[in-house]
Amino acid sequence: MVIVVDAMGGDFAPQAAVRGALASAERLPAQIVLVGRPQEIEKHLPASAQRPANLQIVAANDVIQMEADPTRGALRRQDASLFVAVDMVRRQEAQAIVSAGNSGALLTLAHTQLGVIEGVRRPGIAAPMISQRGPGVIIDGGANADCQPIHLAQFGLMGSIYAEYALDIEEPRVGLLSIGSEPSKGNSLTRGAFDMLTEMPINFVGNIEADGIFNGQADVTVADGFVGNVALKTAEAMAHFLMGDLHNCLCDGLSGKVAALLLGNKLGSLRQRYDYANYGGAPLLGVQGIAVFSHGRSDERAIASAICVAHRAAEGGVVEHLRQACRQLVVEAN
């Protein structure tokens, strides 16, 4: 298995990407390929003799900046690290691509270069969400701001397949994010999607509210990309804000500082748990390959866990399972 990493993407590139790739190469039974400016990549690596044999560099001298408008030009930047990396998946030289760079550009390139799986109306981003019952995802995490009911129904199917084959969840429970649990609750989009979801070959558990994401009522939460993105960012912002207040409590006076010492590791793992940058990446489901988005603010560990997400998705054969399930949809529609 080969996983390509866009070495030049993200706020802390290339260091975070290179270090994350190095750590992954030491841990995973996969070829890890760093794509970018060789000189800049080399700076953050040990001398060649000390490198893991499964870590390689492929040269690409151009970089698509974080703030660049992705709809313009991404496709013409054929020497950009992101373009070269995605192209390796297109040419089947790699199974997966990971980038913390310009997410709009990755979206555009994954769509157009890899192509959409037959039967899929809209690829959707499966973004990780924590819950008390373990890992879960919300789909769509932001690829499609305007959706129709059929798109949501397909997100439910794709999310279910991902949860089953990449997250090893048996019969994943799929919930529709809404503002009330009764089928009649929600907006016209969710009411339309509700019936379609009941007809999908998935374990649909009905409408859930935000607390249902966290308490694990569903493994897969379905929403349009606008609502999904708002939910993700609200959860992230609330955790960040609350952790900041807790930090202030623990810095305030001698008693606060002693309490912080006493809590030590427990507090550290609490922080880790709620730090979205450490969750791993979010794959775009519905394209002909594995494309994993990592947070723009990704540090070395975030990149490593995004690579891990890519590895699990590739190992689980998620793309092939999606193809089969969507072929079935096409057959039934005809």
Residues that bind a copy of itself (CB under 8 A): 132, 142, 145-146, 177, 179, 186-188, 190, 209-211, 213-215, 223-227, 229-231, 233-243, 245-246, 249-250, 252, 255-256, 258-260, 262-264, 266-267, 270, 273-274
Name the nearest CA neighbour of 305 among 55, 98, 88: 98
Work out how close the CB of 65 gets to a copy of itself at its nearest, in angstroms, rounded to a whole number.
15
When the beta carbons of 31 and 102 are compared against a copy of itself, the nearer one is 102
Alpha helices in 49-198 (DSSP H): 81-90, 103-109, 149-165, 188-198
When the beta carbons of 272 and 328 are compared against a copy of itself, the nearer one is 272
When the beta carbons of 238 and 330 are compared against a copy of itself, the nearer one is 238
Q: Please enumerate in sequence order all residues whose Cβ is within 8 A of that of 128, keeping only pairs 6 or more positions apart, or say none.
A: 135, 136, 137, 279, 280, 281, 282, 309
Q: 284 and 113 in contact (C-beta within 8 Å)?
A: no
Work out how close the CB of 316 gets to a copy of itself at its nearest, in angstroms, rounded to a whole number.
28
When the beta carbons of 48 and 184 are compared against a copy of itself, the nearer one is 184
When the beta carbons of 46 and 268 are compared against a copy of itself, the nearer one is 268
Work out how close the CB of 159 gets to a copy of itself at its nearest, in angstroms, rounded to a whole number.
17
Joined together, the tokens standing for residue 207 give 């409408």
Work out how close the CB of 183 gets to a copy of itself at its nearest, in angstroms, rounded to a whole number.
13
Work out how close the CB of 153 gets to a copy of itself at its nearest, in angstroms, rounded to a whole number.
18
When the beta carbons of 215 and 324 are compared against a copy of itself, the nearer one is 215
CA distance 239 to 273: 10
CA distance 172 to 252: 44
CA distance 248 to 151: 44
Work out how close the CB of 103 gets to a copy of itself at its nearest, in angstroms, rounded to a whole number.
10
Termini Cα distance of the chain = 36
Largest CA distance in the chain: 71
Work out how close the CB of 185 gets to a copy of itself at its nearest, in angstroms, rounded to a whole number.
8
When the beta carbons of 54 and 181 are compared against a copy of itself, the nearer one is 181
β-pair type (290-293, 203-208): unpaired
Strand order in the sheet with 55-59: 55-59, 31-36, 2-6, 96-99, 290-293, 282-285, 124-129, 136-139, 220-222, 173-177, 203-208
Task: Say which amino acid occupies 322.
Answer: L
Q: 289 and 90 in contact (C-beta within 8 Å)?
A: yes
Work out how close the CB of 54 gets to a copy of itself at its nearest, in angstroms, rounded to a whole number.
37
When the beta carbons of 20 and 124 are compared against a copy of itself, the nearer one is 124
